[in-house]
Amino acid sequence: MNFRALFCAGLVLSLAGFTLDIYYYTFQYSALGYGLMLVSFLFKRIETLDWVWIALIASTAAAILLTQNEWAFVFEALFVLVFGAYHLATAESRIARIFSVLSILLAVCATGLLLALIIGFGRAATILDPLVIAMVLAQAIQVIANKKWA
């Protein structure tokens, strides 16, 4: 996937989020689309392995937002924890370490909210989707920060 394809995917996702006006998911889809566009501008700084991880995390996040599947969320939290811990151990810049810790904390908080939702606290559902998007964006920013400010 190249710069133009990633930018177009982000643009289509953000425009579809605003155009379809899917209840309260409009902002989440648009933010994820803008995040893809942001990553596309700095695409040349990302190594292939990091790009595979970001694509895996972003596609799993899209599956969570579209299907609201709990198992997809469990895999997303595992991916974020593993990738965040890897970058926390190997990051060369302070900004990348900060975003690694932030993404790990967001994954732990989102997992706690998922457990609260399973137990029966329905209000956790409105906070869960923005946390998933924040995890994806924190992962992308930590990779960019590690490559750009190393």
Q: How far apart are CA 95 and CA 89, in angstroms?
A: 13
Q: What is the pLDDT of residues 72-111, one digit of tens each?
A: 777 778 778 888 888 788 878 888 888 889 988 988 888 8
Domain count along the chain: 1
The whole domain housing 40 covers 3-148
- Cα–Cα separations (whole angstroms), residue 7 to 1, 37, 62, 107: 10, 5, 16, 26
Reduce the secondary structure of 64-103 to three states and give it as a string: HHHHCCHHHHHHHHHHHHHHHHHHHHHCCCHHHHHHHHHH
Query: Would you state the structure tokens that stand for residue 48, as one six-digit string?
Result: 């292939």
Q: How far apart are CA 25 and CA 62, in angstroms?
A: 12
Q: How far apart are CA 132 and CA 5, in angstroms?
A: 23
Q: What is the pLDDT of residues 115-134, one digit of tens each?
A: 888 888 777 777 887 888 88
Confidence of residue 48 (pLDDT cuts 50, 70, 90): low
Neighbours of 138 (CB within 10 A): 23
pTM, full prediction? 0.61
For the chain, the residue count is 150
